[in-house]
């Protein structure tokens, strides 16, 4: 089964894409004075130790964020530089030991009058998230909710100030998550048509994973909404065998971000950043990216 608990994959190539997009989107949305509500449907633990048991088990950060903070890295594009600066802000000295998940990235970029709603159903991650958020002393700005984010966000749409970003990145361990994402976006657009919706998904050999962006595109087009779709591939998805005849699975080879009502500034930012992500994060000759949009 495909497993995507946040803690095991903190700082990997998928996080580089997801969090670069998140930061660029929030930087734009917080330029307007009106209050913004951010709804994070699958928040995870919020903060991760890259030298902790979970992350060091898979060591995926070594092919993700740790490549970008290496001394020999060339100057980064503005969007990637903003992402690296954000991660560095959670670390002291030259070592990158802590990785901020989307809740802490969002909170760092929000202003005093903005709101952050964090949903997490997994009991272990929920306890960690609540403990990590308590240290922020953010008061009523941040709410941690032990419930299913697919359903939980309904009561917050539309938000009081009529401005919202919904970030949805479930584990997709269960095939039904793909359908739930579509249902959630469909329902949310009916409740609040002008919100910005950002969906992360894994690109794996599963029909649902390839159908999801197509169906989101159809949904956005029918609703008359602009959309943006970015993907990052770092290696081949082929299953191989070693000399001993043992099957070797490649791990996550690629991921995508699909946004409805994206900032107009996001596509040019990613047009610069994605080629550099490929250059710095490639694990084999199959590394590539795609970027498309519509309205």
Contact by Cβ (8 Å): 228, 267 = yes
Q: What is the pLDDT of residue 4?
A: 44
Q: What is the pLDDT of residue 232?
A: 98
**Poorest-confidence range of 80-84, 121-125, 184-188, 210-214?**
121-125
Token pair listed for 187 = 């329902």
Is position 42 annotated in a ligand binding site?
Answer: yes
Q: CA angle 213-156-122, nearest 5°?
A: 70
Q: What is the pLDDT of residue 136?
A: 83
pLDDT-derived band at 38 (thresholds 50, 70, 90) equals very high
pLDDT-derived band at 251 (thresholds 50, 70, 90) equals confident
Compute the distance between CA of residue 78 and CA of residue 37 in angstroms, rounded to an integer. Answer: 25
In the predicted structure, residue 18 carries a pLDDT above the cut 60? yes
In the predicted structure, residue 75 carries a pLDDT above the cut 50? yes
List the one residue out of 166, 158, 170 whose CA is nearest residue 121. Answer: 170
Mean pLDDT of the region 173-193: 96
Is position 149 annotated in a ligand binding site?
Answer: yes
pLDDT-derived band at 133 (thresholds 50, 70, 90) equals very high
**Poorest-confidence range of 21-35, 150-164, 200-214, 232-246?**
232-246
Q: What is the pLDDT of residue 58?
A: 60
- Mean pLDDT is highest, among 59-73, 127-141, 186-200, for 186-200
**What is the distance of C-alpha 172 from the center of its chain?**
13
pLDDT-derived band at 2 (thresholds 50, 70, 90) equals very low
Percentage with pLDDT > 90 across the chain: 83
Give start and end residues of each alpha helix (H) in the chain: 6-9, 13-29, 53-58, 65-68, 78-88, 102-109, 123-134, 149-152, 176-191, 207-222, 266-281
Compute the distance between CA of residue 99 and CA of residue 45 in angstroms, rounded to an integer. Answer: 11
DSSP secondary structure code for residue 155 in this structure: G
Contact by Cβ (8 Å): 294, 214 = no
Percentage with pLDDT > 70 across the chain: 91
Q: Which are the catalytic amino acids?
A: 169
**Residues with Cβ < 8 Å from 289, sequence gap 6 or more?**
230, 231, 232, 233, 274, 275, 277, 278
> What are the residue ranges spanned by the domains of the chain?
6-212+261-273
Is position 9 annotated in a ligand binding site?
Answer: no
- Mean pLDDT estimate for the chain: 92
Is position 125 annotated in a ligand binding site?
Answer: no
Compute the distance between CA of residue 120 and CA of residue 133 in angstroms, rounded to an integer. Answer: 13
Q: What pLDDT digit, counting tens, does each position of 204-248 carry?
A: 999 999 999 999 999 999 999 999 999 999 999 877 666 666 666
> 6-212+261-273 has which fold?
Rossmann fold (3.40.50)
Is the CA virtual torsion 181, 18, 8, 122 positive or negative?
negative
Is position 286 annotated in a ligand binding site?
Answer: no
Mean pLDDT of the region 34-45: 97
Contact by Cβ (8 Å): 252, 246 = no
């Amino acid at each position: 089964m495909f497993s995507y608990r946040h803690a095991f994959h903190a700082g990997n190539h998928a996080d580089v894409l997801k969090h670069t997009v998140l930061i660029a989107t929030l930087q734009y949305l917080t330029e307007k004075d009106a209050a913004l509500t951010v709804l994070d449907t699958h928040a995870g633990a919020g903060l991760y130790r890259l030298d902790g048991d979970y992350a060091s088990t898979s060591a995926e950060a070594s092919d993700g964020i740790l490549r970008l903070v290496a001394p020999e890295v060339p100057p980064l594009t503005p969007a990637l530089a903003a992402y690296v600066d954000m991660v560095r802000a959670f670390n002291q000295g030259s070592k990158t030991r802590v990785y901020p998940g989307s809740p802490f990235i969002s909170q760092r970029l929000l202003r005093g009058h903005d709101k952050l709603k964090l949903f997490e159903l997994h009991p272990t991650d929920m306890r960690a998230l609540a403990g990590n958020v308590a240290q922020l002393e953010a008061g009523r700005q941040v709410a941690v909710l032990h419930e299913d984010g697919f359903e939980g966000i309904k009561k917050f749409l539309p938000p009081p100030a009529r401005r919202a970003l919904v970030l949805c990145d479930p584990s997709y361990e269960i095939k039904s998550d793909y359908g739930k994402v579509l249902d959630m976006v469909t329902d949310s657009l009916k409740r609040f048509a002008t919100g910005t919706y950002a969906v992360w998904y894994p690109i794996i050999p599963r029909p649902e994973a390839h159908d999801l962006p197509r169906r989101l595109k159809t949904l956005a087009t029918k609703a008359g909404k602009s959309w943006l779709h970015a993907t990052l591939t770092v290696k081949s998805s082929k299953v191989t065998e070693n000399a001993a005849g043992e099957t070797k699975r490649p791990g996550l080879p690629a991921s995508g971000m699909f946004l409805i009502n994206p900032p107009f500034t996001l596509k040019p930012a990613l047009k610069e950043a994605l080629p550099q992500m490929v250059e710095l994060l490639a694990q084999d000759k199959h590394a590539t990216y795609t970027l498309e949009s519509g309205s």
